[in-house]
Chain A
Amino acid sequence: MAWNDDRPMSPHLQVYKLPLTAKLSIFHRGTGAVLFLGLIMMVWVFAVAASGEQSWQGMHDFLNSIIGKIFLMGFSFSLFYHLANGIRHLIWDTGRGMSLKEANTSGKILIGAVAIATLISWIMIIF
C-alpha cells in the first residue's frame, strides 16, 4: 500500500464516477469533521462571553465582520447538511428506504431541503 512501498496503485478516485449516494456520503463525513471544528469555535465564543462585556465586544465585532460571516455561513451549511443527512441515516437505521431508488430519491430531497435552509440562513447572516 501507499505508505510502505513504491508499487503503483491502479487509479480509482481519479477515474471512477461516484454515484450520487457516494458523494452525499462523503459530504456527510466532511461536514461532520467541519462541525467538530465549529463546535470548538462555539466553545471559544462562550468562553469569551464568560470573560465579561469588554471581551464580548471584540467577539461581537468579529462575528459581524466579513470573515466572521463567512465562518457562520460555512458552519450553517455544514450544520443543515449534516443534520438532514443524519436524519436520512437514522431512517435507514430503522430499515426503511434502503433500496437504490429510494436512496436516490431521498438524496435529491435532501439536496433541495438543505439548499433552502442554507439560503435562508445565509440571507439572515449577510443582512
Chain B
Amino acid sequence: MSEYRTPLSKVKGLGASGDATHHFWLQRITALALVPLTLWFVFSLAALPEASYAEVVAWVQSPFNLVMLVSTIIVSFHHGQMGLQVIMEDYIANYNIRLVSILLLKIVSFFMATLGVISVLKIAMGA
C-alpha cells in the first residue's frame, strides 16, 4: 500500500493534528483584534490609579467601555492560552505531563476569563 491517507482525510485537509492551520489562524485573528483593544485598554488604564472608586465604577458602566472591557478579557485570554499552549508544546517533552499541563492551562484560562467577565458585569450592574 503506497497511500496511507484515507480519501476523507485528504478531502478534509486537516492533517495529522486534526485541525490544520486552525490554531495559527485564530492566533492571528485574536492578535489583530488585540491591537486596537489593547491600545484602548492602555489609554483607559492610564487614568485609573488616580480615580476614586465611584469614578472607576462609572467608567465601567459606560456601555462602550463595558463592551470593550469584556471583549478585551475574552480575546486576551484566548490569545494568551493559545500562546502558552505552544510554549508547553515546545518545551515539555513528556507526552503525559504535556497533555495534563495543557489541559490545566485551558481550565485556568477559561475560569479566569469567566471570573473577569463576571466581575466586570458585577461592577457595571452596581456591586
Q: How does the 8 Å CB contact mask read for A52-68 relative to B, with 1 for contact and 0 for none? A: 11001100100110000
B35 close to A (CB within 8 Å): yes
Cβ of A42 and Cβ of B116 under 8 Å apart? Answer: yes
Give Cα distance in the complex from A47 to B3, angstroms: 55
Cβ of B53 and Cβ of A46 under 8 Å apart? Answer: no
Cβ of B112 and Cβ of A39 under 8 Å apart? Answer: yes
Q: How far is the CB of A96 from chain B (nearest CB, A)?
A: 15
Give Cα distance in the complex from A4 to B15, angstroms: 30
Cβ of B80 and Cβ of A43 under 8 Å apart? Answer: no
A110 close to B (CB within 8 Å): no
B44 close to A (CB within 8 Å): no
Interface residues of B in 9-41 (CB under 8 A from A): 28, 31-32, 34-35, 38-39
Count of chain A to chain B residue pairs whose CB atoms are closer than 8 Å in the complex: 80
Interface residues of A in 18-60 (CB under 8 A from B): 29, 32-33, 35-36, 39-40, 42-43, 46-47, 49-53, 56-57, 60
Give Cα distance in the complex from A29 to B80, angstroms: 11
Residues of chain B lying within 8 A (CB to CB) of residue A112 = none
Q: A36-B80, A39-B76, A39-B77 are in contact. Are A83 and B119 (CB under 8 A)?
A: no
B46 close to A (CB within 8 Å): yes
Q: How far is the CB of B52 from chain A (nearest CB, A)?
A: 9
Residues of chain B lying within 8 A (CB to CB) of residue A3 = 93-94
Residues of chain B lying within 8 A (CB to CB) of residue A1 = 93
A113 close to B (CB within 8 Å): no
Q: How far is the CB of A57 from chain B (nearest CB, A)?
A: 8
**Contacts A/B (CB < 8 Å), 5 sampled:** A1-B93, A35-B80, A40-B112, A50-B119, A124-B46
Residues of chain A having any CB pair with chain B under 8 Å: 1, 3, 29, 32-33, 35-36, 39-40, 42-43, 46-47, 49-53, 56-57, 60, 63-64, 76, 79, 83, 86-87, 89-90, 93, 121, 124-125
* 10 closest A-B pairs by CB: A43-B116, A50-B119, A46-B119, A50-B122, A36-B80, A47-B119, A53-B53, A50-B127, A32-B83, A50-B123
